[in-house]
Amino acid sequence: MIAMLMFIVVLLLLLVGIPVAFAFGTVSILFAFFIPELGVEVFEVLPFRIYGIMSNTTLMAVPLFIAMGLVLEKSKMAERLLVSMSALFRDVRGGLAVSVVLVGAMLAASTGIVSASVVMMSVIALPLMLNAGYDKGLASGTVAASGTLGQIIPPSIILIILGDVMSVSVGELFMGAVLPGLVLVGLYIAYILIYSYFKPEVAPVPKNIQKVTIKEIIISIVPPMFLMLSVLGSIFAGIASPTESAAFGVIGAILLSVLNKSLNFGMLKYASLETVKLSGMIFMILIGATAFSLVFNELGGTDLILEFFSEDIGDVWVFIAIAMLSIFILGFFIDFIEISFIIVPILVPIMEAFGIDPIWFAVLIALNLQASFLTPPFGLSLFFLKGAAGDTIKTIEIYKGIVPFILLQLLALGLVIIFPDLVFAFL
């Protein structure tokens, strides 16, 4: 029960805005210090755990993929892609929104960084859709949902973190997430086309989209597609590890920026500093979570939860339902990194006890965590969108527009639960 109290205290601190790493570390130290049977001696193995984190070759892919995404963010790639896609779908009702989803999917496969994708799409695509007469709810929902595709479509930072936390192959996770990600893209496009067909006024056919030549389309689409296929293809074919492919991706992103004539010292400085900031934040959280898990496990928290699910309940589907519901509800209040480091390590022993396939379960978690970017009041994509859009769109319009896409994400999650072969199709 002390372990459960420790867990609740951490969640309360996170809800009041205490930085994640400090919430983990502070609670761990306080509980270890004031519980006589533990003592601070429990942290004697912490330096070895930290060294293991820093020398983990899988986690080295995180800063590399972040750097790759940040370079592509400044290379004007998204703008060229959107112009080309918009021209291709200019005669289709809802085609502009469809092009935003497709560009979001390509950005997800190229960058894997949700914040960068949402901000880029908000700045470039949202004004284009509003000027064409699109409903503000549909426009904002499409932009926010498309920007979050980087959570499930490889290379995804969350899949790398889940691979490490759950001790599974990141390459296999990437392969397992491809088809579920494409299913989600298909659901988004189907919803947009059906909604705009029955309510034409929400997505009028734009009259101000200029035609582009085949050459312009090829120049804007082929280079990022080639980079995406090179990075993911080398992983899927077993030629390179995710870390090696990420390093190749950084070089490829720099070469793309050279082709787009956008490479300069300011861009490299921005990408380097932001990579250090984001990577430092993730690794600090991981160190704090390691300290938390040491104390939590010593207090018997994991054993208590394992006993509850495997003996008191004993049903695998009840466990899956409770796990998915818990992650979904927590996603309203805390972000995916916190959930990955707090909840997932607790669920892993139970998953193993029930004999659940870890790749399938990890993809379910990744799909579920994607919704945490969209669910109010603390959905990060909503903040990114509102910050970039300014006064052109109201918060309540963003909330209304995002509801159908959250339901589509839950539908995709249900389809993967019912049809697990969606995960194993490429394995």
Q: What is the dihedral of CA 368, 369, 375, 377, to 10 degrees?
A: 140
CA 6/CA 9 separation, integer angstroms = 5
Structural domain contains residue 21: no
* Statement: residue 72 has pLDDT above 70: yes
CA 5, CA 154: separation in Å to the nearest integer?
Answer: 37
- The predicted model gives 264-282 an average pLDDT of 86
Domain-embedded: residue 34 = no
In this structure, is residue 40 part of a structural domain?
A: no
Q: Among candidates 151, 177, 164, which has minimal Cα distance to 232?
A: 177
Burial class (CB in 10 A: 0-12, 13-18, 19+), 257: buried
Which residues have CB under 8 Å from 209's CB, separation 6+? Answer: 86, 87, 90, 96, 132
- 227 found inside a domain: yes
**What are 155-191's pLDDT values in tens digits?**
888 898 899 889 898 889 999 999 999 999 999 999 9
CA distance 113 to 107: 9
**What is the CB neighbour count within 10 angstroms for residue 37?**
8
Would residue 206 count as lying in a domain? yes
CA–CA dist 242, 98 (Å, integer): 30
Quote the pLDDT of residue 208: 65
User: For the chain, what is the domain count?
Assistant: 1
pLDDT tens digits, 91-123: 788 888 898 899 888 888 776 667 667 777 787
**361 domain-assigned:** yes
Proportion of the chain above pLDDT 90, given as a percent? 17
% of the chain beyond a pLDDT of 70: 96
Whole-prediction pTM = 0.85
* 316: Cα separation from own chain's centroid: 26
Write the pLDDT tens digit of every residue in 225-255: 888 888 888 888 888 888 888 888 889 889 8
- What is the reported pLDDT for 209? 65
Looking at residue 177, what is its pLDDT?
93
Kindly state whether residue 37 falls inside one of the protein's structural domains: no
Domain of residue 191: give its range.
46-424
- Whether residue 419 is contained in a domain is answered as yes
* Mean predicted confidence (pLDDT) in 31-42: 80
Residues 6+ apart with CB under 8 A from 374: 144, 145, 148, 381, 382, 402, 405, 406, 409
Q: Which residues have a Cβ under 8 Å from the Cβ of 103 and sit 6 or more positions away?
A: 78, 81, 82, 85, 121, 125, 146
Residue 155's pLDDT is what? 82
Neighbours of 131 (CB within 10 A): 11
Backbone angles phi, psi at 35, to 5 degrees: -105, 110
